[in-house]
């Protein structure tokens, strides 16, 4: 036997343990009573049946326990009555008589201990548990477990052919005999069958066991009355291979097939889950791309709106700068025009002054020729003309002052001077023009200063151009 065969067969051990528990449950439980011949606390002497039970893994029956039938005996001495339960068979004999006085089920009778004898046997169905260690056709050990249920059919035949002499368990010897015959029948049938046949189809074993037991118990085949018993049912519960390696090898094809089916189911489930995960990932990625596209569109609209706003603001600022530049240019043009007009008026005034001077000189010459009277008249005329000229000048100044106030002219010039100075070319040399004697608080003084500044700038520009 290999090392694997020497290993424990868990299923076999469980089956044997369950069979032992079932045997213990089927055994009648009664209160212990000391046997007449056995001292209290001492077990009965071991016999061959007890040794056989221990060899088979069972326990010896308790001989000290009372009998299975509760028979009550009343009265005293020779005048006693035996009361038999209704579900028990009884046979009552008397000395000197060939035939029994009473034979039947639940028969009570008068009993004289000096001349009478009786036997009481349970009439209930009996169950025999079978553990048959067999060798199959492949020379492999197989444990076959089953049970047989039987009942007494003809007690008149049974009590003559069977041994019910055990007062504590009248059915014990009958059960052992039927159990031995059942195990022999099972072993004979299993020896002609294969392992797979024994494990898969137990009906042939049941049929063989039923036929043999009925032939013995009921005597159907031989035509006699048999043992007066009737087989109620025969069943096979388990068939277990004793070798753990063979048991595993027999289970491997099915387990491998089931493992293959389970693995294929797992692969199919994984494939389905993978496809669903891919679909979910694709849907999630599509949604993410849609969200990103929507965000990009929103950002583009925001950027376009901000660009439009910035462009409009730049256009507004550029327009404002152009307007400011145009206003400054207009202010510069107006200032230049005013300066030119003032220059023309100055030249006109100088020309007029020169003309008056010439006329005065001519008048003086004429006065020198005409005499003192002409000189007086000329002087008077000159004073008169000078007064008129002064009046005209005052009128022109008043008109100019009415047209533009000094505060506005000064404010515009001061506001435009940084812009004008920024746009003027950088001079190569610095010339200082000092205008003395002019009143800066009057318009004429301010115009004189501006005229001097413009002349200096023009001279500087001319020098830069000539260079």
- At CA 275, angle to CA 269 and CA 277, rounded to 5? 100
Give me the pLDDT at residue 336, please: 85
- Which of the four pLDDT bands, split at 50, 70 and 90, describes residue 39? very low
Average pLDDT (53-67) is 43
- Which of the four pLDDT bands, split at 50, 70 and 90, describes residue 412? low
Give me the pLDDT at residue 49, please: 39
Give me the pLDDT at residue 400, please: 67
Give me the pLDDT at residue 56, please: 40
Rounded distance between C-alpha atoms, residue 94 and residue 112, angstroms: 9
Checking if the pLDDT of 102 tops 60, the result is yes
Checking if the pLDDT of 134 tops 80, the result is yes
Checking if the pLDDT of 392 tops 60, the result is yes
Average pLDDT (295-323) is 89
Q: Are 60 and 79 in contact (CB under 8 A)?
A: no
- Which of the four pLDDT bands, split at 50, 70 and 90, describes residue 52? very low
Could you tell me whether strands 109-111 and 102-105 are parallel, antiparallel, or unpaired per DSSP bridges? unpaired
Condensed to tens digits (0 to 9), the pLDDT of residues 141-172 reads 888 888 899 888 888 888 888 888 777 788 88
Average pLDDT (91-96) is 86
Condensed to tens digits (0 to 9), the pLDDT of residues 62-72 reads 433 445 677 88
Condensed to tens digits (0 to 9), the pLDDT of residues 235-249 reads 888 888 877 777 677
pTM score of the predicted model: 0.45
Rounded distance between C-alpha atoms, residue 141 and residue 162, angstroms: 33
Could you tell me whether strands 109-111 and 79-83 are parallel, antiparallel, or unpaired per DSSP bridges? antiparallel
Q: Which residue has the higher pLDDT, 26 or 135?
A: 135
User: Residue 370: which H helix or E strand, with range?
Assistant: helix 244-370
- Which residues, other chains included, contact 168 with Cβ-Cβ below 8 Å and sequence gap of 6+? 61, 62, 63, 64, 65, 66, 67, 68
Look up residue 322 and give its two tokens. Answer: 């152009």
- Which residues, other chains included, contact 31 with Cβ-Cβ below 8 Å and sequence gap of 6+? 66
Checking if the pLDDT of 44 tops 60, the result is no
- Which residues, other chains included, contact 230 with Cβ-Cβ below 8 Å and sequence gap of 6+? 150, 151, 152, 153, 217, 218
Give me the pLDDT at residue 374, please: 61
Give me the pLDDT at residue 93, please: 87
Q: Are 78 and 112 in contact (CB under 8 A)?
A: yes
- Which of the four pLDDT bands, split at 50, 70 and 90, describes residue 41? very low
Average pLDDT (349-376) is 76
- The torsion of the CA quartet 153, 155, 161, 163, rounded to 10 degrees, works out to 110
Rounded distance between C-alpha atoms, residue 361 and residue 377, angstroms: 14
Rounded distance between C-alpha atoms, residue 120 and residue 139, angstroms: 46
Q: Which residue has the higher pLDDT, 225 or 137?
A: 137
Residue 133 backbone phi and psi in degrees, to 5:
-90, 105
- Kindly give the residue spans of alpha helices, DSSP state H, lying in 91-236: 155-161, 172-190, 195-200, 203-217
Range in 176-190, 326-340, 361-375, 431-445 with the lowest mean pLDDT: 431-445
What percent of the chain has a predicted confidence (pLDDT) above 70? Answer: 70
Give me the pLDDT at residue 116, please: 86
Of 245, 213, 211, nearest in space to 229 by CA: 213
Q: How far is CA 370 from the centre of its chain?
A: 135
Strand partners for 109: 82
Q: Are 250 and 196 in contact (CB under 8 A)?
A: yes
Rounded distance between C-alpha atoms, residue 62 and residue 166, angstroms: 12
Condensed to tens digits (0 to 9), the pLDDT of residues 234-288 reads 888 888 887 777 767 777 787 888 888 998 999 999 999 989 999 999 999 999 8
| C-alpha to C-alpha distances, 313 to 293, 323, 325, nearest whole angstrom | 29, 15, 18
Checking if the pLDDT of 446 tops 60, the result is yes
């Amino acid at each position: 036997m290999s090392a694997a065969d020497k290993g424990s067969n868990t299923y076999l051990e469980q089956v044997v343990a369950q069979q032992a528990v079932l045997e213990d449950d089927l055994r009648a439980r009664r209160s212990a009573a000391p046997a007449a011949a056995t001292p209290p606390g001492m077990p009965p002497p071991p016999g061959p049946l007890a040794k056989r039970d221990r060899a088979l893994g069972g326990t010896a029956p308790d001989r000290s326990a009372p009998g299975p039938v509760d028979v009550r005996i009343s009265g005293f001495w020779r005048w006693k009555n035996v009361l038999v339960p209704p579900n028990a068979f009884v046979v009552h004999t008397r000395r000197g008589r060939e035939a029994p006085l009473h034979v039947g089920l639940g028969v009570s009778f008068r009993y004289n201990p000096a001349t009478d004898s009786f036997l009481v046997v349970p009439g209930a169905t009996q169950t025999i548990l079978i553990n048959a260690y067999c060798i199959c056709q492949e020379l492999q050990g197989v444990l076959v477990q089953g049970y047989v249920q039987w009942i007494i059919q003809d007690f008149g035949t049974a009590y003559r052919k069977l041994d019910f002499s055990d007062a504590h368990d009248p059915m014990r010897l009958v059960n052992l005999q039927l159990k031995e015959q059942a195990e022999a029948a099972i072993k004979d049938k299993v020896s002609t069958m294969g392992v797979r046949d024994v494990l898969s189809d137990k009906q042939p074993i049941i049929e063989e066991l039923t036929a043999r037991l009925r032939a013995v118990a009921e005597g159907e085949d031989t035509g006699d009355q048999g043992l007066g018993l009737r087989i109620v049912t025969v069943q096979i519960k388990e068939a277990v291979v004793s070798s753990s390696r063979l048991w595993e090898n027999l289970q491997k094809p099915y387990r491998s097939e089931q493992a293959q089916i389970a693995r294929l189911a797992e692969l199919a489930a994984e494939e389905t889950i993978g496809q669903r995960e891919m679909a979910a990932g694709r849907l999630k990625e599509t949604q993410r791309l849609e969200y990103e596209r929507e965000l990009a569109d929103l950002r583009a609209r925001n950027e376009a709106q901000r660009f439009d706003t910035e462009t409009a603001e730049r256009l507004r600022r550029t327009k404002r700068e152009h307007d400011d530049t145009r206003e400054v240019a207009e202010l510069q043009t107006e200032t230049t025009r005013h300066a030119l007009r003032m220059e023309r008026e100055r030249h006109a005034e100088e020309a007029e002054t020169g003309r008056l001077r010439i006329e005065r000189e001519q008048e003086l010459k004429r006065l020198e020729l005409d005499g003192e009277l002409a000189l007086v008249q000329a002087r008077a005329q000159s004073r008169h003309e000078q007064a008129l000229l002064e009046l005209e000048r005052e009128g022109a100044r008043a008109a100019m002052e009415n047209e533009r106030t000094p505060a506005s002219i000064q404010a515009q010039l001061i506001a435009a001077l940084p812009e004008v100075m920024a746009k003027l070319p950088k001079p190569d040399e610095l010339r200082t023009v000092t205008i003395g004697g002019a009143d800066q608080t009057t318009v004429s003084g301010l115009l004189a200063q501006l005229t001097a500044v413009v002349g200096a700038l023009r001279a500087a520009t001319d020098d830069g151009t000539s260079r």
